[in-house]
Structure 1
Amino acid sequence: MQDLIRATSKKGVLEAELPADELADSAEYQTLEARIDELRAHNSELLDELDDYEAAFNAVEHSAPELGSGGTSREASF
């Protein structure tokens, strides 16, 4: 995420300092845009995976029987 923030910040600085026609001709700017697209895609994949893990965790949490509820557990009597 930090790499994406740095790259978009650098892009913003370049866009503020240079005219659009100069940016269009800049190989560095084109590379930076490609890198930003790559980082966004990667971060999107990570967020999707995180959502999957969260959903799986919530499913397990909600399907687990409550401990000590007396439902199916047997208490030992001595």
Structure 2
Amino acid sequence: MSGLRKRSLAIAGHRTSVSLEEPFWDALKEIAAAEKRPIASLVGEVDSGRGELNLSSALRLRVLAHYRGRPEPAKVTPAD
């Protein structure tokens, strides 16, 4: 897998940076295109439902869920 790529996005009215491997960015672009919406909208949706999970991990799980044919990943909280 390739190295991390940091991208800046505006979600929920503020700028944030997210680091993901390039294949995950490609997959998020594909998912957003299939859903006919901007990638920032998809990232914002994931952000609002991620609970305690960091955004990069939540995005990876969203990609995995998509390609496994599931509507969205189960909520995962970090172990203590």
TM-score normalised by length of structure 1 = 0.23
Structure whose residues are more often strand by fraction: 2
Structure whose residues are more often helix by fraction: 1
